């Protein structure tokens, strides 16, 4: 499952003793390890549930015209954002795409700030100027939803370049889709990052479709990890529907990057359960295929695994669901109540200088 390909440089083993969102993984006894693992899995589950329930509510709000614009849902791909984020520290940088609610929530941006942004409110994480496709949070080094396919990749290389030049031990993680493989900016940047040995983690969410065009209809060579490896970086493919596999791969890659092994590339094989943007007629894929992938739902997969191991009671699951539901409710309530950005401030933030007449 995690076969390294085309590896020119040998990544050093990742250090497992890193603080994560779910607490320390330091453990001194077998029992302690088991308990820590259980807690960690519960945290992974909670993070995925948060994204899933948040986005389900987005569908409802979009249908009620509370949210407008383009809204690209991540439902089905939650394991990728949650698993990769586990490998990142608060000092690391994240660059994302227009399908970034999951990345933003997994990065720790409060659901309230994200929902308010979807509502276009002043309290949104981009002050109502970005919307669903442009979530930002400088304090969490979350450099946004970039809505030009592959447009965020060069920028991520620059963030990594700054860390590299300043000898800071940070990783810049850049999410993009399989569609970005057809763009020059991916190839230019892969070459540049490998050439300069930048601390860049390239995370390709291969959900098999560039909008409505299937991978084999837009790429002559569909083995993406192999192609990334051709630039001289370590690259491998991972089951993107298994959050633990994703986390493990991301930790390994991030550890190697921090150790100075240069850029790494992960191809995460995943699938979006819903349309490209909110609603589409799904003319480009058949329902049987969608059902096959839904059977691999990353949330079901993790809960099943936890149940099998007797690590998840129904009461615990209900508690998590309730907690997440309340969080989403609060986010919606807050967004409803939040003030609009005043129209007089239209020209603010075009440049750093206050607009004329201020």
Partner 1 sequence: MAAGRRPREAETTYREALREALREALRSDDRVFLMGEDVGRYGGCFGVSLGLLEEFGPERVRDTPLSESAFVGAGIGAALAGLRPIVEIMTVNFSLLALDQILNNAATLLHMSGGQLPVPLVIRMTTGAGRQLAAQHSHSLEGWYAHIPGIRVVAPATIDDARTMLAPALTDPDPVLIFEHGSLYNASGELDASAPPVGLDHAAVRRPGTDVSLIAYGGSLPKALDAADELATDGISAEVLDLRTLRPLDDAAIASSVARTHRAVVIDEAWRSGSLAAEVSARIAEDSFYELDAPVERVCSAEVPIPYARRLEEAALPQTADVVAAAHRAVG
Partner 2 sequence: MGAFTMPSLGADMDEGTLQEWLVRPGEQVRKGEAVAVVETAKSTLEVECFETGTVEELLVEPGTTVPVGTALALIAPFARAREARGEPDETVEKTPPRPKPRRTAPSSGTEAARAPTPTPARAHGHSEAGPLLRHLAERSGLDWAALHGSGPGGRVTRGDVERAAGGAARPPRIRATPLARRLAAELHVDLGSLTGTGTDGAVRAADVRSAAPGGATTPTPAHRAARPRTAEDRAFAMRQAIAALMTRANRDIPHYYLSTNVDMAAAMDWLHEHNRRSPVGERLLPAALLLKAAACAAREVPELNGFWVDGGFVPGDGVHLGVAVSLRGGGLVAPALHDADTLDLRQLMAGLKDLVVRARTGRLRGSDVSAPTITVTNLGDQGVETVYGVIYPPQVALVGFGRIVDRPSAVDGLLGVRPVVTATLSADHRATDGAVGARYLTAVDRLLQNPEQL
Site for partner 2 in 281-340 (CB under 8 A): 281
DSSP letters for 126-180:
TTTSS-TT---BGGGTEEEEE-STTTHHHHHHHHHHHHHHTT----EEEEEEGGG
Binding-site size, partner 2 (CB under 8 A): 14
Given 6, 108, 110, 127, the residue binding partner 1 (CB under 8 A): 127
Q: How far is the CB of 287 from partner 2 (least distance, A)?
A: 11
Nearest to 202 by CA among 218, 190, 188, 185: 190
108 binds partner 1, rule: CB under 8 A = no
Q: Can residue 278 be called a binding residue for partner 2 (CB under 8 A)?
A: yes
Parallel, antiparallel, or unpaired: how do β-strands 213-214 and 209-210 relate?
antiparallel
Q: Is 279 in the site for partner 2 (CB under 8 A)?
A: yes
Q: Is 231 in the site for partner 2 (CB under 8 A)?
A: no
CA distance 22 to 135: 24
Query: Binder to partner 1 among 192, 204, 299, 320 (CB under 8 A)?
Result: 192
Stretch that binds partner 2, among 28-36, 56-64, 135-143, 299-307 (CB under 8 A): 56-64
**Partner interacting with residue 162 (select from partner 1, partner 2, none; CB below 5-8 Å by kind):** partner 1
What residues between 195 and 214 interact with partner 1 by CB under 8 A? 195
Please select the residue that binds partner 2; options are 60, 289, 304, 326, rule is CB under 8 A.
60
For residues 181-210, one letter each, b for 16 or more C-beta atoms within 10 angstroms of the residue's C-beta and e for the rest, the string is bebebbbebbebbbeebbbbbbbbbbbbbb
Instruction: Choose among partner 2, partner 1, none what residue 124 binds, the Cβ cut-off being 5 to 8 Å by kind.
Output: partner 1
Interaction of residue 177 with partner 1, rule CB under 8 A: no
Inter-CA distances, 149 with 119, 159, 233, 262, 296, Å = 24, 18, 22, 24, 27
69 binds partner 2 (CB under 8 A): yes
* Rg of the chain (C-alpha set): 20
By CB under 8 A, name the one of 85, 126, 270, 303 that touches partner 1: 126
Work out which of 128, 232, 240, 298 binds partner 1, going by CB under 8 A. Answer: 128
Q: Show the tokens assigned to 222.
A: 């569909």
Q: Which residues have CB under 8 Å from 123's CB, separation 6+? A: 112, 113, 116, 334, 335, 338, 339
Q: Does residue 64 interact with partner 2 by CB under 8 A?
A: yes
Give the 3-state secondary structure percentages of the chain, helix then strand then coil, rounded to 5.
Answer: 45, 15, 40
Query: Counting beta carbons within 10 angstroms of the beta carbon of residue 212, is it exposed (0 to 12), middle (13 to 18) or buried (19 or more)?
Result: middle
* Residue 123 DSSP symbol: T
Which CB atom, from 163 or from 267, has the smaller least distance to partner 1? 163
Shortest Cβ distance from residue 213 to partner 2 (Å)? 17
Residue 120 near partner 1 by CB under 8 A: no
Minimum gap (Å) between residue 62 Cβ and partner 2: 6
Interface with partner 1 (CB under 8 A): 93, 95, 124-130, 134, 136-138, 143-144, 146, 148, 151, 153-163, 165-166, 172, 184-185, 188-189, 191-192, 195, 348-353
Interface with partner 2 (CB under 8 A): 59-60, 62-65, 68-70, 277-281
């Amino acid at each position: 499952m995690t076969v390294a390909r085309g590896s020119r440089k040998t990544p050093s083993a990742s250090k497992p003793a890193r603080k994560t969102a779910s607490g320390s993984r330091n453990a001194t006894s077998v029992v302690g390890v088991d308990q820590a693992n259980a807690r960690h899995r519960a945290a992974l589950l909670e993070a995925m549930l948060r994204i899933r329930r948040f986005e389900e509510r987005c569908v409802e709000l979009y249908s009620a015209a509370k949210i407008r614009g383009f809204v690209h849902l991540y439902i089905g791909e939650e394991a990728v954002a949650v698993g990769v984020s586990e490998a990142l520290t608060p000092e690391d940088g994240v660059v994302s795409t227009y399908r970034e609610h999951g990345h933003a929530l997994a990065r720790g941006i409060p659901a309230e700030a994200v929902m308010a942004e979807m509502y276009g409110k002043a309290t949104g994480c981009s002050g109502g100027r970005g919307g669903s496709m442009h979530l930002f949070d400088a304090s969490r080094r979350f450099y946004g939803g970039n809505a030009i396919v592959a447009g965020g990749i060069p920028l991520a290389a620059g963030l990594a370049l700054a860390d590299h030049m300043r000898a800071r031990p940070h990783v810049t993680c850049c999410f993009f889709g399989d569609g970005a493989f057809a763009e020059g900016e991916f190839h230019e940047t892969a070459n540049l990052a490998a050439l300069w040995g930048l601390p860049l983690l390239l995370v390709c969410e291969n959900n098999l479709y560039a909008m409505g065009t299937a991978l084999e209809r837009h790429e002559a060579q569909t083995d993406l990890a192999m192609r990334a490896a051709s630039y001289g970086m370590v690259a491998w493919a991972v089951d993107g529907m298994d959050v633990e596999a994703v986390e493990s791969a991301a930790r390994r890659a991030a550890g190697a990057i921090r150790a100075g092994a240069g850029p790494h590339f992960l191809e995460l094989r995943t699938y979006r359960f819903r349309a490209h943007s909110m609603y589409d007629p799904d003319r480009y894929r058949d329902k049987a295929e969608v059902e096959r992938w839904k059977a691999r739902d990353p949330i079901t997969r993790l809960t099943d695994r936890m149940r099998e191991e007797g690590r998840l009671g129904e009461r615990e699951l209900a508690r998590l669901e309730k907690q997440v539901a309340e969080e989403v409710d609060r986010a919606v309530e807050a967004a409803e109540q939040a003030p609009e950005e005043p129209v007089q401030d239209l020209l603010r933030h075009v440049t750093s200088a206050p607009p004329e007449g201020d």
